[in-house]
């Protein structure tokens, strides 16, 4: 076991449970790790892999961050909630509504009959190709998005410290 009070040789062999070795680029993204569960997370921001260690690296000034606002972002709108407090009213049709429905029904029937006659006469008009429906996706809207960029801020080549990682402590070198 290696700890700050003893000197021992550290070897970053694969799946070493005593020693976790990671290589993080200057933007804070995971490049390499000796832990198998990290291998599928290569390319992710390191805070997604090990949030406590990334927070410690930021707090100890290994990484600095710059926050900026993107005024040309595109966001998907949140779905509107239809859970109102008031109950929906019950619709009671009137005589005018029934007459209106009868008129629309007769107009639709006459329109379908005309389309049928046109179809018999000019059958080539109704040959169509299947086209994927455009515009069926959720509408996107313009929004302002806050972006945070991490960058390597120190030129210090060596570092030895015990850091707090939530419910444990780690020796970071």
What is the structure's pLDDT at 171?
A: 72
What is the structure's pLDDT at 91?
A: 74
Under-50 pLDDT residues of the chain:
none
What is the structure's pLDDT at 92?
A: 75
The 10s digit of each residue's pLDDT in 108-131 is 999 998 888 887 777 665 566 666
CA 22 to chain centroid: 25
What is the structure's pLDDT at 140?
A: 82
What is the structure's pLDDT at 151?
A: 86
Helices (H), ranges, 19-71: 36-39, 46-49, 51-59
């Amino acid at each position: 076991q290696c700890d700050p009070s003893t000197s021992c040789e550290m070897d970053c062999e694969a799946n070493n449970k005593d020693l976790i070795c990671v290589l993080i680029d200057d933007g804070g993204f995971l490049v390499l790790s000796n832990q198998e569960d990290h291998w599928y997370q290569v390319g992710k921001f390191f805070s997604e892999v090990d949030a406590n260690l990334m927070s410690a690296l930021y707090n100890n000034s290994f990484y600095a961050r710059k926050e900026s606002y993107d005024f040309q972002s595109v966001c998907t709108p949140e779905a509107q909630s239809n859970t109102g407090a008031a109950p929906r009213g019950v619709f009671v049709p009137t005589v005018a509504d029934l007459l209106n429905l009868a008129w629309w029904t007769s107009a639709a029937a006459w329109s379908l009959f005309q389309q049928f006659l046109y179809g018999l006469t000019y059958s080539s008009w109704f040959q169509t190709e299947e086209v994927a429906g455009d515009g069926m996706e959720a509408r996107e809207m313009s929004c302002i998005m806050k972006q945070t960029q991490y960058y390597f801020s120190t030129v210090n080549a060596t570092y030895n410290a015990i850091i707090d990682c939530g419910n444990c402590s780690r020796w970071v070198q």
